[in-house]
A = this chain, B = another copy of it.
């Protein structure tokens, strides 16, 4: 298969690069939301019978990975390379999942944009001939991330209305050079953007410029019309970030229609007020993109979607050291396969 670089950031795949297996799993709150029917597994509690939340997150990611492989009628031994990441220090849930499933492993960190970083690199491995099949996974868990970045949920501390809540979810996608109902047609690699926002609750505002930058680069470099995509889907900008992103795109001269824009962090919870501005976390774009969106494309409801997972590359230490919040967004084009 040929890989064509267009411009600096965009890769086009000329050939059948199919998602031959996928899975999305979710926690109890996500399982009660509008996307419930698109999850392969919904857990009725946050523990998954593990003695720590970190182990619960690992188990959840592992379930998604194994389900995606099984749905393709394969075993982990038949997958050549595995790209995964999460929000936890030293990405231990992903590392332990790699230990458990035994697939040669590349660990990633790109905060909540991990889903599309993983799918980009998995697609590159297969399209280039370096791997027959490659697996992409991203996960997050509200109890591990909230206590690491902010406060344990059990403290019940107040959050501002523009804040977001980490999703308990994981999504996996298995790529091979075969025709499938959904194919990966293009990737745009993101650059780090930083508009000097330093409030760690202002994630949507911090990530919106990165989303706009990558979407602009994608349309410019791929050279497609403004109406090419049925949906240009941000990862987890939430209500606040999405409004800013829309303004930015307009100001920069890219006039996407209102109905072309949606956000994984809003789709996942509908209007649930308990998540404030919306959901976030690596598992958010992974579960919505590889679950809900995959299903809608495969059933013909959507033809072409640009999945743009967004990540805020902050850490609690960097924040305490008065650093602003750099953000990034990687885009993957998913299209109806032949």
- A interface vs B, CB < 8 Å? 2-5, 8-9, 11, 51-52, 54-55, 80-81, 85, 87-92, 95-96, 98-99, 102-111, 117, 120-121, 124-125, 127-132, 189-194, 313-318, 321, 323, 326, 328, 330
Contact = CB atoms under 8 A, between A and B. Distances in A.
Of A88, A95, A121, most B-chain CB atoms within 10 Å: A95
A103 B8 CA distance: 10
A130 B124 contact: yes
A86 to B, nearest CB: 10
Given A5-B80, A5-B130, A129-B3, A110 B111 contact: no
Contacts of A51: 321
A130 B124 CA distance: 8
B192 A99 contact: yes
Q: Tell me the interface secondary structure of chain A in the complex.
A: mixed
Contacts of A128: 3, 124, 127-128, 130
A106 B119 CA distance: 12
Given A315-B92, A321-B55, A102 B8 contact: no
A192 B54 contact: no
A63 to B, nearest CB: 18
Given A4-B129, A98-B326, 15 more contacts: A5-B131, A5-B132, A9-B80, A85-B109, A87-B90, A89-B89, A90-B318, A95-B326, A95-B328, A96-B318, A98-B328, A105-B190, A106-B110, A106-B330, A107-B110
A174 to B, nearest CB: 15
A117 B107 CA distance: 9
Q: Which 5 A-B pairs have the closest CB atoms?
A: A128-B128, A95-B313, A90-B315, A104-B189, A99-B192
Contacts of A194: 99
A107 B8 CA distance: 18
Contact of A92 (B110, B120, B127, B318): B318
